[in-house]
Every structure is written in structure tokens, then in C-alpha cells.
């Protein structure tokens, strides 16, 4: 088996998740390429050194250019803030290095397009981190939809709802400052990505984006919230199906509300991220008095589950989603074949977000080819 040197930019929540995934992926999936944790980068030399010790990296740095340019770093994982993605990715592609970038791809559609074109021009493997769509349950749902198991699809409803800013008394922080850190930059990309994965391209949409709690307590008094709290999107897919997507950071009681319903002429599917190891399936067959949603417990017979556990219903978790992503990234590098979602796929998410902002501002339906 061959080794590949990994560099991770960012050592926070997602930086740790990707570092742990790269440590575990070889054993979990017996990958042809085995990651070697070469360097981690964060904002201070002391902090980077501490994270290198904690996560098992050989070296550390506070300068992302040092990491990208290091010969022993052969592939780069970008898990830093959204405003840093562009420069890091472009530098890595210029050196011919594969890049895995956390979502959303960049700040604004123009930046995302520039990153996508640079990735494709370089010929380097590129992927974006939409981890929730990789649960075994959602992989199963994609198979069911594609095979026609629930018939012709007639409607889609998706959401990503959380409540970490539901309390209006919660103080201002980095999440309440700047459009990229709002709901549309943080949460909305996930259900949009799910809609694209399950239903295909979005043709047009109409959206309402709102800041409910317009000020929060700051260090020296009230501080204006400069991004959005929640958004409602109604969309028309290219296949003609009508859909709706809701995302919110003020949905009281919701902790991991990544959920969707898909309705078809022969049945329906329901998924809830707070119960990620189950899929609900309804089939329009048999005695009407005995019909109803059944709960399918995810197990070894479903995509990617067996690598983690042999017991049905025992469950996979959040970190396992990141390990599956790491497997896909390594497989793309090993085979020199793109694995979904690439930068181009992520660009479609940002295109939908840009269309939603325009729709909300102009209060009309917007076609995605307008943005």
C-alpha cells in the first residue's frame, strides 16, 4: 500500500474531525492510499504545535503557505474559515496538489467559479465537504429514488434546522457577523446539496430570507446582526417537480434537523438527521388498512455501514460521515477519477444560494441561469 502526506489547514471543529478521519480511514476501509499526517496549520505557532501533538501530525505551522508548499504535504484539506478557502485552494492547485475543501466552497459566486475553474484547469482531484448526504441512510434513499422504487417523484421537502441562536438573549458572536457566517452560508448549503443529490438540478426558485433577531448584546451595548437567521425557498427542479427547502438557526428545539421527505406515485421516503440510522419508507401496495410508514434500521446490508459495524441498528455517527468522505477523497486520488461532490457540484449549491438572495431582494422567481 502507498502512503500520501496530508496537510490540514484549520484545527477547530472541522479541522479536528478531518484529522481524526484521516487517522482512521485506512483501518476502517482498508484504503489503497494510507494517509500520513504531515502538517497542521492554525492561527498561532503555539496553538498549531499543541494541535499537532493532540492529533498526531509530524509538524505544525501558523502559515498556511508553509503547509501548502511543503513537499511532504501531497494533498490539502481546507477546514479553515470560508474567507480563506480561495487563496489556499488556488495555491495548492498551482502546485498540482489535490484539495478537499469544507463547504461552502467560497465567498460569493464569483469566487466559487474562480476556484472551480482553477481546479478543472489544474486537473487535480477536488472535493467539497457535504458530509450529511453521506450517511448510509441517505445513500440508500438515493438508490431508492434512482431505481424508481417509490415511483415517479411528485414533491420534495427538505430542511436543516438548529436552535443555537434561538434565544434572542444570546450574545453577538462571529456567527452573527457577516453574510458568509449566517444561515445562508452555514446551514442552507446542506439541504440544497441534499435536494440536488436526491432530485437533480434546480431550474428556478423563489425565496424569503429574514433576520428575526436584528440586534444582540455586544461587548459595549446592542450590536446589529449583519446576516440572516432563517430562509424559506420554494423551487422548481429541472425534472418539473416542485420542492421546498427551509433552513434556520433559530428553530427552537431542533439540534440536528437535517431532514427531508420525498413523495412518489408508489410510495414516500422520510429521513431525520436526529435519527440518522433509520429511514422511513411508505409503499402504496397491499391492504390499505395495513399501510403505513415502516422504519428501516440501517445495517450492514446498506451502503458503507459494514465497515464500521456488523450489527444492524447499532448505528453510525457524525465522525463516521467524515471518515466516509476521507475514503472517497483518497479513492479519487488513487484512481484519478472525480468523486461527487466536486468543486463544480458545490458551485451549483452556491448558485442556488445566490439566486435565493436575489429572489429575496427582488421578491420574484429567479432562474438559476440568471446568476
Q: Cα–Cα distance between 29 and 27 in angstroms, integer?
A: 6
Nearest partner of 158 among 76, 269, 65, 53, judged by Cα? 269
Residue spans per domain, the chain: 2-130, 136-275+277-314+348-362
Please, are residues 225 and 189 in contact by the beta-carbon 8 Å criterion? no
Question: What are the tens digits of pLDDT across the range 242-252?
Answer: 999 999 999 99
Torsion angle, CA of 67/69/75/80, rounded to 10 degrees? 40
**In what helix (H) or strand (E) does residue 8 lie, and over which residues does it extend?**
strand 2-9
Q: Cα–Cα distance between 354 and 113 in angstroms, integer?
A: 12
Q: Answer whether 0.85 is exceeded by the pTM.
A: yes
Q: Cα–Cα distance between 9 and 15 in angstroms, integer?
A: 7
Torsion angle, CA of 42/317/243/355, rounded to 10 degrees? 0
Fold of 136-275+277-314+348-362: Dihydrodipicolinate Reductase; domain 2 (3.30.360)
Torsion angle, CA of 302/239/241/268, rounded to 10 degrees? -20
Name the pairing type of β-strands 215-218 and 202-210: unpaired
Lookup: cell for 256:
440536528
Nearest partner of 24 among 68, 55, 70, judged by Cα? 55
Q: Cα–Cα distance between 362 and 371 in angstroms, integer?
A: 13
Question: What are the tens digits of pLDDT across the range 233-282?
Answer: 999 999 999 999 999 999 999 999 999 999 999 999 999 999 999 999 99
As a residue count, the chain comes to 371
Please name the residue that has the C-alpha cell 453574510.
Answer: 179
Please, are residues 316 and 308 in contact by the beta-carbon 8 Å criterion? yes
Q: Give how far Cα 84 sits from Cα of 105, 127, 180, Å.
A: 10, 16, 12
pLDDT at 224: 97
Identical fold between 2-130 and 136-275+277-314+348-362: no
Q: Give how far Cα 95 sits from Cα of 68, 72, 264, Å.
A: 8, 12, 47
Please, are residues 45 and 64 in contact by the beta-carbon 8 Å criterion? no
Considering the domain delimited by 2-130, tell me its CATH architecture: 3-Layer(aba) Sandwich (3.40)
Lookup: cell for 76:
490539502
Bridge partners of 232, per DSSP, are: 208, 246
DSSP 28-88: HH--SEEEEEEEEE-SSHHHHHHHHHHHT-SEEES-HHHHHH-TT--EEEE-S-GGGHHHH
End-to-end CA distance of the chain: 45
Q: Which residues of the chain have pLDDT under 70?
A: 1
pLDDT at 18: 98
pLDDT at 1: 67
pLDDT at 89: 98
Bridge partners of 280, per DSSP, are: 270, 295
Amino acid at each position: 500500500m502507498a502512503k500520501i502526506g496530508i496537510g490540514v489547514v484549520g484545527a477547530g471543529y472541522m479541522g479536528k474531525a478531518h484529522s481524526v478521519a484521516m487517522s482512521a480511514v485506512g483501518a476502517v476501509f482498508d484504503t489503497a492510499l494510507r494517509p500520513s499526517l504531515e502538517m497542521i496549520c492554525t492561527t498561532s505557532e503555539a496553538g498549531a504545535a499543541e494541535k499537532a501533538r493532540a492529533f498526531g501530525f509530524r509538524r505544525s505551522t501558523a502559515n498556511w503557505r508553509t503547509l501548502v508548499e511543503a513537499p511532504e504535504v501531497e494533498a490539502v484539506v481546507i477546514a479553515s474559515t470560508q474567507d480563506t478557502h480561495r487563496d489556499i485552494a488556488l495555491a495548492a492547485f498551482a502546485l498540482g496538489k489535490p484539495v478537499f475543501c469544507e463547504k461552502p466552497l467560497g465567498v460569493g459566486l464569483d469566487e466559487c467559479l474562480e476556484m472551480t475553474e482553477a481546479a478543472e484547469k489544474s486537473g487535480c482531484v477536488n472535493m467539497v465537504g457535504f458530509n450529511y448526504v453521506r450517511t448510509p441512510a441517505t445513500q440508500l434513499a438515493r438508490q431508492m429514488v434512482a431505481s424508481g422504487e417509490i415511483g415517479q417523484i411528485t414533491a420534495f421537502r427538505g430542511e436543516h434546522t438548529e436552535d443555537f441562536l434561538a434565544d434572542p438573549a444570546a450574545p453577538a458572536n462571529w456567527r452573527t457577523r457577516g453574510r458568509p457566517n449566517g444561515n445562508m452560508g452555514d446551514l442552507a448549503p446542506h439541504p440544497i446539496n441534499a435536494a440536488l443529490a436526491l432530485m437533480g438540478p434546480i431550474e428556478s426558485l423563489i425565496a424569503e430570507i429574514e433576520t428575526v433577531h436584528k440586534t444582540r448584546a455586544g461587548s459595549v451595548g446592542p450590536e446589529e446582526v449583519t446576516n440572516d437567521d432563517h430562509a424559506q425557498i420554494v423551487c422548481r427542479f429541472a425534472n418539473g417537480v416542485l420542492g421546498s427547502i427551509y433552513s434556520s438557526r433559530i428553530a427552537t428545539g431542533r439540534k440536528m434537523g437535517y431532514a427531508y421527505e420525498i413523495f412518489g406515485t408508489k410510495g414516500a421516503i422520510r429521513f431525520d438527521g436526529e435519527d440518522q440510522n433509520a429511514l422511513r419508507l411508505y409503499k402504496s401496495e397491499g391492504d390499505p388498512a395495513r399501510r403505513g410508514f415502516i422504519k428501516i434500521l440501517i445495517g450492514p446490508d446498506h451502503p458503507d455501514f459494514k465497515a464500521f459495524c456488523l450489527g444492524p441498528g447499532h448505528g453510525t455517527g457524525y465522525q463516521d460521515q467524515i471518515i466516509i468522505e476521507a475514503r472517497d477523497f483518497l479513492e479519487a486520488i488513487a484512481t484519478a477519477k472525480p468523486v461527487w461532490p466536486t468543486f463544480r457540484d458545490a458551485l451549483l449549491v452556491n448558485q442556488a444560494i445566490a439566486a435565493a438572495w436575489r429572489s429575496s431582494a427582488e421578491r420574484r422567481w429567479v432562474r438559476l441561469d440568471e446568476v
